[in-house]
């Protein structure tokens, strides 16, 4: 399952064992809060993420967990950049 910016302020459904790809794009320098470690966990990652993907988490147990991220606009070095903060929140409901 993939969580994108279209999922902002939404609840998405997954099942235990599903991988949750968090793909918010690359125009914002997104900083994700870590997963809760119970419902969503960050498995060992021995692969590169595709451009625009911030993380791939595992739905480890049934329950609800929030995905939260924030960030500023990616601007080329030395250029003027708007002071803009983007905020993202989605809820993942994991079913057995």
How confident is the model over 76-93, as pLDDT tens digits?
A: 777 787 778 899 999 999
Confidence category of residue 45, pLDDT binned at 50, 70, 90: confident
- Which position has the token pair 């993420």? 49
The H-assigned helical ranges of the chain are none
Average pLDDT score over the chain: 94
Q: What angle do CA 68, 90, 93 make, to 5 degrees?
A: 120
Give pLDDT, residue 20.
97
Give pLDDT, residue 69.
98
Q: What is the pTM (predicted TM-score) of this model?
A: 0.89
Give pLDDT, residue 78.
79
Q: What is the CATH number of domain 2-75+83-95?
A: 2.60.40.2020
Give pLDDT, residue 2.
96
Q: What angle do CA 68, 26, 59 make, to 5 degrees?
A: 40
């Amino acid at each position: 399952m993939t969580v994108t910016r279209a999922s902002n302020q939404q609840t998405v459904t997954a099942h235990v064992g599903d991988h949750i790809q968090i793909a918010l794009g690359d125009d914002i320098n997104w900083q994700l809060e870590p997963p809760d470690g119970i419902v969503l966990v960050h498995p060992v990652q021995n692969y590169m993420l595709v451009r625009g993907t911030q993380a791939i988490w595992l739905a480890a147990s049934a329950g609800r967990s929030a995905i939260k991220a924030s960030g500023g606009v990616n601007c080329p070095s030395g250029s003027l950049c708007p002071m803009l903060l983007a905020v993202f929140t989605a809820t993942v409901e994991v079913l057995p």
